[in-house]
Structure 1
Amino acid sequence: MKIGDIEFRKEALFLAPMEDVTDPSFRYICKRFGADMVTTEFISSDGLIRDAWKSRAKLNINDFE
Structure 2
Amino acid sequence: MQFQEQTTNWYHVSLDTQTQKFIATSTADESISASGITIEQAIQKLAFKVKPTKQTTKQFA
TM (norm. structure 2) is 0.29
Which is greater in Rg? 1
Which structure has the highest strand share of the two? 2
Which one scores higher on RCO, CA 8 angstroms, separation ≥ 6? 1
TM (norm. structure 1) is 0.28
